[in-house]
């Protein structure tokens, strides 16, 4: 299950684990113009953990999901 909300400066997607027990905490993705953040509550530390992806890192992640094992680098077309 997931929700999508459009805020003033970001689109917020929340992924809710509704699978088999044990369930994981919700994951929240916030897409801004210059970066994407991923947040999840960590009950061990009682804090929200946050990761920030640049748009280039997000592009690389998207490509990596469709490629076989290996090392890759995007090249600029001049």
pLDDT of residue 14: 93
Three-class DSSP category at 60: helix
Query: Each residue's pLDDT tens digit in the chain (78 positions)?
Result: 889 999 999 999 999 999 888 899 999 999 999 999 999 999 999 999 999 999 999 988 888 888 888 888 877 776
Whole-model pTM: value is: 0.80
């Amino acid at each position: 299950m997931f929700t999508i909300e459009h805020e003033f400066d970001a689109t917020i997607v929340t992924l809710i684990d509704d699978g088999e027990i044990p369930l994981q905490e919700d994951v929240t993705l916030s897409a801004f113009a210059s970066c994407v953040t991923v947040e999840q509550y960590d009950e061990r530390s009682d804090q929200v953990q946050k990761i920030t992806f640049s748009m280039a890192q997000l592009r690389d992640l998207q490509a990596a999901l469709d490629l076989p094992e290996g090392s890759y680098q995007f090249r600029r077309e001049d």
